[in-house]
């Protein structure tokens, strides 16, 4: 999963792509919920991401934050890489919505939408048929599956 942090008033080169595994996205979700429940200001830093390019190590940090100033409070996601830092301020609703997006994407990025081919369907149907061949009550189910794959059976004359 990739999250991009940027500021529209800054150069494109300052954008930060933060790549995380699905399990990390769930961890971000859980930490965001925990931070949102805090009654006091809190900064929760995730373990830094490190990558090497051209023999140079680069560290990227993600911080989940709740700030409190008098009667006011708010939330932020802050990403820092080297001298570049982007802070995304959010109200509670936006913060919790972002947390839910992290959670949902952690699941959806594990699945690939692929339309099964006719051959896939026929192969699955054949496998089911072979397993259920000895059960007469399965014939109706097999006909329904066959109709789903090939379309309705032609009317008998």
pLDDT band at 53 (very low <50, low <70, confident <90, very high): confident
pLDDT at 151: 67
Which residue do the tokens 């794959």 mark? 149
pLDDT at 78: 95
Q: Is the pLDDT assigned to residue 133 strictly greater than 70? A: no
Share of the chain above pLDDT 70, in %: 81
pLDDT at 120: 76
The token duo for 9 is 């008033």
Tens digit of each residue's pLDDT (9 = 90 or more) over 70-122:
989 999 999 999 899 999 999 999 999 999 999 998 888 776 666 777 787 77
What are the extents of the domains in the chain? 2-108, 118-150
Question: Distance (Å, rounded) from C-alpha 129 to C-alpha 91?
Answer: 55
Share of the chain above pLDDT 90, in %: 44
pLDDT band at 139 (very low <50, low <70, confident <90, very high): low
Of the listed ranges 65-69, 119-123, 148-152, the one predicted with least confidence: 148-152
Q: Is the pLDDT assigned to residue 46 strictly greater than 90? A: yes
| Buried b / exposed e along 64-73 (16+ C-beta atoms within 10 A) | bbbeeeeeee
The token duo for 113 is 């939408």
CB atoms near residue 63 (< 10 Å): 17
pLDDT at 144: 72
């Amino acid at each position: 999963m990739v999250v991009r942090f940027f500021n529209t008033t800054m150069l494109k080169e300052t954008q930060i792509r933060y790549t995380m595994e699905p399990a990390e996205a769930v961890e971000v979700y859980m930490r965001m919920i925990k931070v949102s429940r805090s009654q006091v200001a809190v900064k929760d830093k995730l373990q830094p991401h490190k990558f090497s390019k051209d023999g140079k190590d680069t560290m990227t940090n993600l911080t989940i934050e709740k700030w409190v100033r008098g009667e006011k409070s708010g939330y932020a996601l802050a990403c820092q890489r080297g001298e570049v830092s982007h802070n995304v301020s959010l109200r509670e609703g936006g913060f919790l919505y972002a947390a839910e997006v992290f959670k949902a994407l952690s699941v959806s990025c594990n699945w690939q939408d692929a339309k099964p081919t006719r051959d896939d369907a026929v192969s699955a149907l054949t496998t089911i048929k072979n397993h259920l061949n000895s059960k007469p009550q399965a014939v109706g189910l097999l006909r329904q599956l066959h109709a789903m794959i090939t379309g309705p059976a032609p009317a008998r004359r």
